[in-house]
Every structure is written in structure tokens, then in C-alpha cells.
A and B are shown apart, each in its own frame.
Chain A
């Protein structure tokens, strides 16, 4: 860090590219590393190894070991080091290999990062980004398949975003890096390979706290985030063809702040709501949404709010068992048809 804001002038925008979600995240980091020398990346295997999931591939060569810092397997230590560095004005991007491993740093995230702003009365901020993927579906079993998005989203002092598209992966990660509060960016293992169009403009951010209407429709609202949005869009298309109903998909993008307004406007129009998430629904994101929707749309609802999430078991290994636990498109479709009163 060389003093001052550390920000240098951004290069000119360069059009639109098709890339994977993984590449979009890398683009966001590269642009922000170029733009602001307070930004640095830190985590297990982010440098020499090119990233456990190759998100940071090539960044070490480009920016060197001070900007792309390999850490020991020591989540509590290096997440906490990110908090301390952020408190002095750095803008660390801490990669945690998966959300499951963030649990060993929970104290630093919830008891420390989330508290800095309030405890210091706004005198000290904590502009920390933690990037980590959630998700199941690769037979990774009980300890490596979890989505605790709701735990973090329920913590005042944190912001939590969970992009579902490459464009938002780039836009939300950049917004998170530029944000002065601690932001958890929840990525997703199966989404890393999804492709999409991304505007390369380094100044184009996705605003935090704004949901997207991922698909317009009039008969049912599916509310989802992260990989559940990918599933929801497939289901929406399928039941449009099979049943002639139009499904609106609201992609939350941010979990805290939560854009209840966009969700409520959609449900007021469709009168029916299905909340889908990759995590366990009890006490989860979908539970929060159901509460918000019944409060905001009590007189609009023509059916009870439904939820689909992970079966409430630790994830098993056998493919058949794992599949039975997942919020698959079949399960989402069946739930959608129930809410639509179209169930067989």
C-alpha cells in the first residue's frame, strides 16, 4: 500500500465477453487488483497452485506474492488477519476453499468482522471480502456439501451476496471489494463452469441489495439465489411448455441486504410463491423469505408459500442417496405444481 486511497484510473471499457462464472470472478479480481493497490488476495493455494478451484489462476504471476498470498491451512488465523488488515484500510479478498471450512473461522467472521463497525462507532471500518463456494452434488458427502448462507445472512454487520450468473459474479464481487463493510461472497461449485455474457467494463458493478427478475411471468414466483436460480430457470421453462403457465424467477443476488420489495412486487402480481435454496430449509433463507412474503403479501396469496431445499440429513456419499437429498429440478417442479394447484 502506497498511501492515499490507493486507487488508480481505470482502463477504458472493452465490450462484452462470454466466459464462465469462474473466469468472471477472476476478471473481477484482476480488475480490482489493477485498480487499487490496497486490494490483495489471500487464502489456501490461491497462488502457486492457481486456486483449489482455479478461480485465482494466473493472478500470482501477474501480481506477485504480496498481492496474491498463499496461506497455511489456518482459516481462523488468516480470516482474522484479513479482519485486522481491513481495519487498517487494506481491502483483503480472503478465499476460503469451501463454505464448510469457514466454520472453523466462524468466530472471526461473526464475533469480530461483523462487530467492528458497531464496536468502533463507525470510526473503524472492516472492508473485508470473504469468497467461498457452497453447494453439493459432487459426492463430496457430509462435511463438504453444505450451504449455511442463512447463518451469515442473519448476522447484523455482515453483507452477504450470492451471484447466480457470470455477469453478477463479476459485478457483485467488484461491488463487494469496493464496499466498506465486510461482505461474504457465496459462490457455488457446480456454477463455476456455467457460461454467460459479461460486460467487461471495469466500472460496471452489480448493486448490493438489488434482486433481479431473472425471468418474467405471471402465475407463480420462484425466489432463489445462487445455483438454485439455475435450477429454477430450467423448471420455469419446463412447466411453461408442459402446463402453459408462466413462472417468474426472482434471483435474490443479495441475501443481506435482502430485496424484499422486488420479491413482494412479484408475489403481489402472481399471488403464489415458491422459495428454493441449496441449504437446509429449516431456519434457512427460504424460512426468512416465507415470513417476509406472508407479511408483505398476506392479502395477495392464493396458496401457502412453499419451500424446497436440501433434505435435512448430512449428505451421504452414494450417488442415489445424494440425489435423493438434493433440491433437484424434479422436486422444484413438483412443489411448483402444488403451489399452482396443478399437482396430479
Chain B
């Protein structure tokens, strides 16, 4: 299996598709900016990891998914949820901890999900989602389905045991899973060269006789092309792969991190000059889409984000009497009914029927 650096490979998207990708990238950028404002206004709690700067990598990879494919990600996941089609209202409501959040107010920023769209989370332990994505791919094989799993992770996850174990299992069992490494150069504040002995992360795939590719993750066309090719091979030939997307995160690790202790303002500015939105817009203009055509679309996206915030503000918090909903399967009440007396908290009350539904 080859490991290939395709950072310069040419690929052309149809102008209509490119326009759609740009719209989504713009929406994600504005959404993240709104999320940061709302976090600083204390309407969003917990951790909040923004993805500004990574839009092309996110949108390009998700665009390559078929409807039936599955998506599993780490915790920097707002963009992935939006790109997969989760309504901005449901994402923002989740960040606000509201009842109509896409994870029912159970997850917040790190644990977005949408099962109907094949998005199985939003996981918060670095590397923990990899074995799960691998098991999902195993299930697809067991049922003979021609579907693939796209499993996103950060550059910080590639030194976890779960990474090595998952790649090995995927390769030894020929599972339809593509591991997308969003390499934004820093795992929290630790740069890739301080964390990884082999900084060409895609080459690690070679150790598992798996295809490994690296692309310029800020190039929407290259990103979508590589994702499409690898997902197709996974789907049709059960060939797992690693795709490393080189990109950059403009903001800190989370909203609480200014992002300047471990990198310079100059470095950030340098990357901003290669902004994926600016680059994508230039591609559109080169295809003859006039610059004035963007204004209305951008204004529309901004309204969409404003509406999402308004929706989240107006939405009710989840009902407290459903605190334990979903923890155990309906029918488990009977199993737990003898956990009393002497119970510190009354488990039977906490194990009531049902999930939350949609």
C-alpha cells in the first residue's frame, strides 16, 4: 500500500458544487464566531472548541460522504455537524444546553450527533472514537452493506494506543473506514514536531499496509477529491485508509485559550493569508462566478446563524424529570426495582422508561 503526498494534485469541482461548499464553509465560519460570542456572554458552558480555519478540510471530507455513510468525530465538531446537514438551530441549541439541541441537551459542544444523518457523535476522549468507528465498520461488513465510516481525529490523537489498535484492526479485518486526521499543527498547545517522532502522519498508515494520503486541507477541491477516492475504495473494496489534512486553527484550543502561548501572532497571520474561504472564493471567481453574487448568499448565511442563536435563546431547557432518560433501556426499571431500600439516590426513580425521541 502506498503512502502518497498529494498536496499538489489537481482536481476540479463543478462550479455549482463549489458554490455550495463555499456557502457551507462561510456558514461554519460565522457560526463559530457566533459561538465564541455566546460563550463569552456565558450562554454557552463547558468546553467549546472552535474550528475556524479548518472549514475546507471539514466540508470537503463530509461532501464526499454518501447519505448512507456514517460519520464519527472527535470533539471539535461544530463544523462537521453543520456540514452533515444538522440544522444550525439544533447545533446552537445544543451548545446552549436546550431541549431541541441535536443531542437533547445531553452533550453540548463536544458531543453533537444526529443519528438520522448517520452522525454518531461527537466524542470527547482523544482517540476514543477510533475503536468505535472501527466496530461500526465491522458491523457494516457483517451485514454486507456497501457503506463506509469516516472517522475524524486530530493530530494529537495519533500517539494514542487507540489509534494504533484501530488502524491495525481495520487493516487486518479489511474494514471500510477512513481515518481523517485533521492536522492543524497543534494538539492543544503541543506542536506536532514536539509530539510525534514521525511528523508526516499519513506515513503511519504504511505500518498497517494501509493507504495513507496527505492533502492540503485548505484546498477544498483536493480535500473532496481525496476523501471521495478513499471512501469509494473503503465502500467498494473494503480498503481502509488514512487521510491527513494539513490545515490550521485560528483560535485557541478552546475558547478559554488565547492560543498565543505556543505560537506567534505572525504565524497565525501567515496562515490567515492562505485562508480557505478566500481561496475557495478565488476558485469560484476564476470559474466566472462574479464576486457580487456572493453578497446575498453570505447575508443569508449570517441570518441563518442569527436565527440559530435566537432559536437557542428561546428554546426551553430539557425537562429535569427526564434526567436519567436513556441511561438504561426501557424495561430496565423492573431490573432495578429492588435496588431499594437503602439506596442513596433512589435508582429506581432514575431508571425510568424511554429515551427522548425527536
Contacts and interface: CB of A to CB of B under 8 A. Distances in A.
Interface of A: 1-3, 40, 66, 71-72, 74, 76-90, 92, 104, 107-108, 111-112, 117-125, 156-157, 159, 179-181, 207-211, 254, 257-262, 264, 291-297
Given A79-B131, A209-B339, A257-B338, A87 B168 contact: no
B339 A257 contact: yes
Given A76-B131, A108-B128, A117-B329, A257 B336 contact: yes
Interface of B: 103-104, 106-107, 111, 113, 115, 120-121, 123, 125, 128, 130-140, 142-143, 161-162, 165-166, 168-169, 172, 324-332, 334-344, 347, 350-351, 354-358
Given A257-B347, A258-B339, A261-B340, A122 B135 contact: no
A72 B340 CA distance: 42
Contact of B135 (A85, A121, A159): A85
Contact of A121 (B106, B130, B138): B106
Contacts of B343: 260, 292, 295
Q: Which 6 A-B pairs have the closest CB atoms?
A: A122-B355, A80-B131, A84-B135, A77-B165, A122-B326, A81-B135
A260 B139 contact: no
A88 B139 contact: yes
Nearest to A6: B143
A119 B131 contact: no
Given A72-B172, A80-B162, A259 B339 contact: yes
A86 B329 CA distance: 14
A71 B139 contact: no
A82 B135 contact: yes
A123 B327 CA distance: 11
5 contacts: A84-B137, A119-B111, A122-B329, A257-B335, A260-B341
Nearest to B70: A88
A264 to B, nearest CB: 6
B132 A88 contact: no
Nearest to A258: B339
Contact of A81 (B115, B138, B356, B357): B138
Contacts of A297: 342
A209 B162 contact: no
A291 B336 CA distance: 18
A104 B354 CA distance: 32
B356 A80 contact: no
Given A87-B120, A89-B139, A80 B327 contact: no
Given A120-B113, A125-B329, A77 B125 contact: no
Given A66-B142, A118-B327, A84 B133 contact: yes
A198 to B, nearest CB: 22
A129 to B, nearest CB: 14
B326 A112 contact: no
Nearest to B172: A72
Contacts of B132: 80-81, 83-84, 87, 108, 112
Given A77-B131, A259-B338, A264-B342, 17 more contacts: A72-B165, A74-B169, A76-B165, A77-B165, A78-B131, A80-B165, A84-B133, A85-B139, A88-B136, A90-B142, A107-B128, A107-B162, A117-B329, A120-B355, A121-B356, A209-B338, A260-B341
B136 A157 contact: no
Contacts of B339: 209, 257-260
Contact of A118 (B106, B123, B140, B168): B106
A260 B342 contact: yes
Contact of A84 (B139, B327, B330, B350): B139
B140 A88 contact: yes
Contacts of A207: 335
A112 B128 contact: yes
Nearest to A127: B329
B326 A117 contact: yes
Contact of A122 (B111, B123, B325): B325
Contacts of B334: 209
Nearest to B341: A296
Nearest to A77: B165
Contacts of B162: 76-77, 80, 107
